[in-house]
Amino acid sequence: MLKDFFMGLSQNQFLNSTAKKYGLKMGAQTVVAGTNIDEAIKSIKELNSHGISCTVDNLGEFVFKEEEALAAKENILKVIDAIHSNNADAHISLKPTQLGLDIDYTFCYNNLKEIVHEASKYNMFVNIDMEDFKHLEPTFDLLDALSVEYDNVGTVIQAYFHKAIEYLEKYENYRIRLVKGAYKESEEIAFQDKKDIDKNYIQLIEWHLLNGKYTSIATHDHRIINHVKEFVKKHNIPNDKFEFQMLYGFRRELQLKLASEGYNFCTYVPFGNDWYGYFMRRLAERPQNLNLVAKQVFNKKTNTILGVAAGAFMIGRMTKSQNKKRK
């Protein structure tokens, strides 16, 4: 129920617009590295000082206007330039819908190609994030097309999909980030039970560590992390074949610990004004994350917007329920 609640909020355009007006006052400042490039670079350099690399996401998704997609492209190009000019240890993560995938495939491809080309000048990697299921195949198509000319591009495989191992086998020669999955999908295409997802996730990690090019293991679960440590030791997998990844603002002590132990570690650093959907999905995929932002969220300034959010979501649920009864 709580997961459905936050997923519902993540897709509410009115609340997304309202959240932008409030800046990061909903508690998101704990998990989003500012609203501009300078703030993001400052956070990246601080992480770099501890031996942690970063993947940078200029937040934005589900864009339906060409001018917005073009603006997003220009912002990402500026991020690439800022990473290079500041000699930061970082690369790019982006979402195809931010660059116009819902507008036109070719339009999105051209935007993405310009970004990948620019990043290639600096030997910088570009990770194409996966979104919901309806964008899965078009995103793979983008990866296939770009890979004809460029080798600095990879993507994400989501463990909750039944066919995740098939996707992984197809792209074994790519740098792949493995995640559990953060979108709400139907049981026909995705596992619903956490135990099933975790089991599949571990199987994907093990397979790619043994067969893949480079594996980014994106999890905050210390049990899975400990399992990976034992697995790579048992199979003599060198540290330069994989990295651990976590989100900015989560389990910082564990991030520092893993880096100090000599493991490659990468922090996913999101920034920008369009932070709302990202923030809500982080709460949806792990409701315990509320503990990290409770002090910021439950105060006088933000009770209003959360109250509006909760009210809007519950009204929506009640309306759907009433409509079903009428039918």
Residue 35 is predicted with a pLDDT of: 84
Residue 319 is predicted with a pLDDT of: 39
Residue 261 is predicted with a pLDDT of: 97
Asked if 156 and 179 touch (Cβ cutoff 8 Å), the reply is: yes
Residue 216 is predicted with a pLDDT of: 98
Range in 69-83, 206-220, 294-308 the model is least confident about = 294-308
Helical packing angle, 300-326 and 2-10, nearest 10°: 100
Query: 129 an active-site residue?
Result: yes
Asked if 248 and 32 touch (Cβ cutoff 8 Å), the reply is: yes
Using the predicted structure, report yes or no on whether residue 325 has a pLDDT greater than 60.
Answer: no
Residue 25 is predicted with a pLDDT of: 53
Residue 2 is predicted with a pLDDT of: 53
Of 177, 281, 282, 286, which one is the catalytic site residue? 177
Residue 274 is predicted with a pLDDT of: 73
Query: 252 an active-site residue?
Result: no
184-191 contact pairs (CB < 8 A, 24+) = 184/3, 184/4, 184/7, 184/284, 185/132, 185/133, 185/160, 185/161, 189/133, 189/161, 189/162, 189/163, 190/133, 190/160, 190/161, 190/162, 191/159, 191/160, 191/161, 191/162
Strand partners, 56: 92, 269
Of 57, 102, 129, 198, which one is the catalytic site residue? 129
Mean pLDDT of 300-325: 43
Q: How many CB atoms lie within 10 A of CB 197?
A: 19
Q: Which residue has the higher pLDDT, 168 or 285?
A: 168
Mean pLDDT of 52-66: 91
Return mean pLDDT, the chain: 85
311 confidence band (pLDDT: 50, 70, 90): very low
Range in 76-90, 273-287, 297-311 the model is least confident about = 297-311
Query: CATH code for 33-274?
Result: 3.20.20.220
Break the chain into its structural domains and give their ranges: 33-274
Q: Tokens 């997923």 appear where?
A: 7
pLDDT tens column, 63-73: 899 999 999 99
Share of the chain above pLDDT 70, in %: 75
Using the predicted structure, report yes or no on whether residue 197 has a pLDDT greater than 70.
Answer: yes
Q: How many CB atoms lie within 10 A of CB 238?
A: 7
